[in-house]
Structure 1
C-alpha cells in the first residue's frame, strides 16, 4: 500500500464527509493505493456514527473508537499501530490542513529519501494568543533538540517513512515532539515543507493554554529520557558526586580553619554558628540522595524489558 492517512479527531462530525471525500479525490487522481485511519478520541457529537457511514461508502476508510478522550498523542500512537502504508501522512480533522499537499509530501519521502517531512504553516490564521506562544515553543524546541531546520514542530500535517511510526511511541503531549522522538530513534533525515494553513470551517479549537505548559514539561521529559534513559547514573551520579564533594571540601576547610585557630590560640566561632556549615551538610545530603537516585534508576533501567532494545536499520 502506498499511503496511510492517520487522522485523530474529537467532535469533528461536520468536517469528516468533506475531508474524507477530498482525500479520496486526491488519491484517485494520483492513482495511489491508500487507507484513511480515523481515530475517534471519545467524541460525543456523533462523529463515530459518521465514520461508520463513511466507511460504508468508502472501504479504504478504517475507524478506531476510544471509549473516552485520551488525547491526540494516544490517538496518533494507536493510528500508527494500525497503518500498513509505505508512507504515513498525519493531518488534523478540522480542514485546516489541505489534502492537496499529500502528493508532494509522498514524493519527497519516496524520491528524496527523507524519514520525516514536517509541515510549516508559514502563513497562519490563528489569533496572536496562539501564534506568539507557538513561536516561543518552537524556538525552545529547536534549541533543546538540535533540530534547527524546523520552524513548526506542532503542525499536524506530516509525512513519515513507514518504519518511523513503527519505531516510536507517542504518549502524553508528545505529539508536539514527534520529530524529536524520531531523531532519538535514529531517523535523522528530517525535512520541512511549507504548507497551506486554512481557516477553521466548522466548530472551535479543542486546545487551551494549558497545552503550552504540558508541552514544555514533555519537552524536558524527552530531552532527559532520550539522553539518559539507558544510563541514568551518568546524570544523577555526576550531579550527586559534584554536590557531595563540594560539601565535603567545605567541611574539611571549616574543620582545618578551626584547628588552625585552636593551634594558634585565636578566637573562633562555634561550627554551628557558621552558615557554610549548613551549606556543606546540605550539599553532602543532597549529593548522597542524588547518587542513590541514580543507583536505583540504573537498577530499574538494567532490569527493564527494553534495556537492550536498539534501533536496527538493516540486516544483510
Structure 2
C-alpha cells in the first residue's frame, strides 16, 4: 500500500464527508493505493455514525472509536499502529488542511529521501490569541530540540516514512513534538513544506490556553528522556556533586573563620547565627538528594525492560 492517511477527530461530523471525498479524489487522480484511518477520540456528536456510513460507501476507510476522549496524541498513536502504508500522512479533520498537498508530501518521502516532512502554515487563518503563543512555542522548541529548519512543529499536516511512526510512541501532548521524537529515534532527514491553511468551515476549535502549559511541560520531558533516559546519573550527578561541594566549601570557610577568631582572640559569631551556615546546609542536603536521585534512577534504568532497546536501521 502506498499511503495511509491518519485523521484524528473529535466532534467533526459535518467535516468528515467532505474531507474523505476530497482525499479520495486526490488519491484516484494520482493512482495511489491508499487507506483512510479515522480515529474518533470519544466524540459526543454523531461523528461515529458518519464514519460508519462513510465506511459502507468507501472500503478504503477504516474507523477506530475510543470509549472516551483521550487526546490527539493517543488517537495518532493508535492510528500509527494500524497504518499499513509505506508513507503515512496525518491531517486534522476540520478541513483546514488540504489533501491537495498529499502528492508533494508523498514525493518528498519516496523520491527525495525525507524521513519526515512537516507542514508550515505560513499564512494562518487563526486569531492572534492562537498565532502569537504558537510562534513563542515554536521558537522555544527550535532552540531546545536543535531542529532549526522547522517553523511549525504543531502543524497537523505531516508525512512520515513508515519506519518513523513504527519507531516512536506518542502520548500526553507529545503530538506537538513528533519531529523531536523522530530525531531522538535517529531519523535526521526532517524537512518542511509550505502548505495552505484554510479557515475552519464547521464546528468550533478545540484549542485552549491550557494546552500550551501542558505542551511546554511535555517538551521538558522529551528533552530529559531523549538525552538522559539511559544515563540519568549524567544529569543528576554533576548537579548534585556541584551543590554538595559548594555547601562543603562554605562549611569549611565558616569553621576556619571561627578557628581564626579564637586563635586571634577576636569576637566572633556562632556559626549557626550566620546565614551562610543555612545556605551551606541547604546546598549539602540538596546535593545529596540529587545524587541519590540519579543513583536510584540509574538502577531503575538498568533494570527497565527497554534498557537495551535501540533503533537499528539495517542489518545485512
Normalising by structure 1, we get a TM-score of 0.99
**Do residues 293 (structure 1) and 282 (structure 2) align?**
no
The RMSD of aligned alpha carbons is 0.5
Paired residue for 1:115? 115
Paired residue for 1:262? 262
Secondary structure of the 2:105 match is helix
Task: After superposition, give the CA deviation of every residue in 1:165-219 in whole Å (9 maximum; x if it has no partner).
Answer: 0000000000000000000000000000000000100001012111111111111
**Distance of 1:276 and 1:12 partners within structure 2:** 61
Which structure 2 segments of 5+ residues have no match? none
Paired residue for 1:92? 92
Secondary structure of the 2:297 match is helix
Q: Which residues of 2 match residues 268-279 of structure 1 at below 5 A?
A: 268-279=268-279
Paired residue for 1:226? 226
Q: What displacement does 1:264 show?
A: 1.6
Paired residue total: 316
Secondary structure of the 1:196 match is coil
**Do residues 104 (structure 1) and 120 (structure 2) align?**
no
Secondary structure of the 1:37 match is strand
Task: After superposition, give the CA deviation of every residue in 1:212-255 in whole Å (9 maximum; x if it has no partner).
Answer: 11111111111111011111111111111000011001101110
Q: What displacement does 1:20 show?
A: 0.4
**Distance of 1:305 and 1:197 partners within structure 2:** 43
Paired residue for 1:242? 242
Paired residue for 1:208? 208
Task: After superposition, give the CA deviation of every residue in 1:286-315 in whole Å (9 maximum; x if it has no partner).
Answer: 001111111111111111111100010000
Paired residue for 2:31? 31
Secondary structure of the 1:207 match is coil
Q: Which residues of 2 match residues 51-66 of structure 1 at below 5 A?
A: 51-66=51-66
Paired residue for 1:77? 77
**Do residues 150 (structure 1) and 150 (structure 2) align?**
yes
Q: What displacement does 1:44 show?
A: 1.2
**Distance of 1:207 and 1:236 partners within structure 2:** 36
Paired residue for 2:166? 166
Which structure 1 segments of 5+ residues have no match? none
Paired residue for 1:132? 132
Paired residue for 1:42? 42
**Distance of 1:24 and 1:126 partners within structure 2:** 27
Task: After superposition, give the CA deviation of every residue in 1:125-180 in whole Å (9 maximum; x if it has no partner).
Answer: 00000000000000000000000000000000000000000000000000000000
**Do residues 19 (structure 1) and 31 (structure 2) align?**
no
Task: After superposition, give the CA deviation of every residue in 1:68-100 in whole Å (9 maximum; x if it has no partner).
Answer: 000000000000000000000000000000000
